[in-house]
Amino acid sequence: MTSILVTGGTGTLGRPTVARLQAAGHQVRVLSRKPGPDRAVGDLTTGAGLAEAFDGSDVVVHLATSSGSKDVEQTRHLLAAASGVRNLIVMSIAGIDRIPLPYYRSKLEAERLVAESGVPYTILRATQFHNLIDRVFGAERFLPALLAPAVTLQPISVDEVAVRLAELVEQPAVKGRAADIGGPERRPVVELARLWKQARSSRRPVVPLWVPGKTFKAFAAGAATVDGPEYGRITFAEYLR
């Protein structure tokens, strides 16, 4: 049995990851600012309580994320407390080194800090989650049309990312990046929008969207997809069902 601390354990990916690790018989605690059952009290933003929260953990699975410089600062606090773990598993995003989004730059800087820290680590990058694409389309509910960027994505199920994280917990630290993972299909967002429209019984037309700039160009070139074999079996259509 491995003692595991999970940051972001109550989030979209955290919940299925914690459940899978517990089902495998591991001792799992979730980092939280508030006490509770199976919680370890600590604050990534300030660093308060992290040393005590991390004490006794064999593996830390870092799923918490924030925007911009806050994400980088939280990573510094995380690393200061994680010196004794045998594997720090860090969740990241496919294509962050190829897509010039400010948020992605912060994620890339966080990866650099982890790599240079001396802490045994494994970085796992995954493509966009199904539920993120679902939320983006849902946020357009007040628009007369469903806008779909003219790019191709490779969305993945959070449950299948949780499977991969649980596998990495059982393995020694890679001391680098594990193979990136992406979902079983590479599909234009226009097609994903049409699937979403049908599943949500929407009558709005799907309108392809082109945006000038380097970020859109990188997405259009497939930078957000993964080189190599697909991972998992759950397609976006199956997620919607």
CATH number at residue 212: 3.40.50.720
Q: How far, rounded to the nearest angstrom, does the alpha carbon of residue 207 sit from its chain's CA centroid? A: 28
β-strand pairing of 187-188 with 152-153: antiparallel
Q: What is the residue type of 142?
A: F
Q: How far, rounded to the nearest angstrom, does the alpha carbon of residue 148 sit from its chain's CA centroid? A: 22
Among candidate residues 166, 164, 159, the one with its CA nearest the CA of residue 26: 166
Among candidate residues 228, 227, 239, the one with its CA nearest the CA of residue 133: 239
Among candidate residues 148, 147, 154, the one with its CA nearest the CA of residue 128: 154
Interval 97-152: pLDDT, tens: 999 999 999 999 999 999 999 999 999 999 999 999 999 999 999 999 999 999 99
Given a contact cutoff of 8 angstroms between Cβ atoms, the answer to whether 9 and 63 are in contact is yes
Sign of CA dihedral 42, 19, 125, 194: negative
The domain of 172 spans: 3-240
Compute the mean pLDDT over every residue in the chain, rounded to the nearest whole number: 96
Q: How far is the first Cα of the chain from the last one, in angstroms, to the nearest whole number? A: 36
- Residue 136 CB partners (closer than 8 Å, separation 6+): none
Q: How many domains does the structure of the chain reveal?
A: 1
Given a contact cutoff of 8 angstroms between Cβ atoms, the answer to whether 232 and 162 are in contact is no
Q: How confident is the model at residue 189 (pLDDT cuts 50, 70, 90)?
A: very high
On the question of pLDDT at 1 being above 80, the answer is no
For residue 37, the tally of other CB atoms under 10 A from its CB is 6
What percentage of the chain reaches a pLDDT higher than 70? Answer: 100
Given a contact cutoff of 8 angstroms between Cβ atoms, the answer to whether 141 and 24 are in contact is no
- Residue 70 CB partners (closer than 8 Å, separation 6+): 45
What percentage of the chain reaches a pLDDT higher than 90? Answer: 95
pTM (two decimals)? 0.96
pLDDT at 69: 86
Mean pLDDT of 143-163: 97
Interval 12-56: pLDDT, tens: 999 999 999 999 999 999 999 999 999 999 999 999 999 999 999
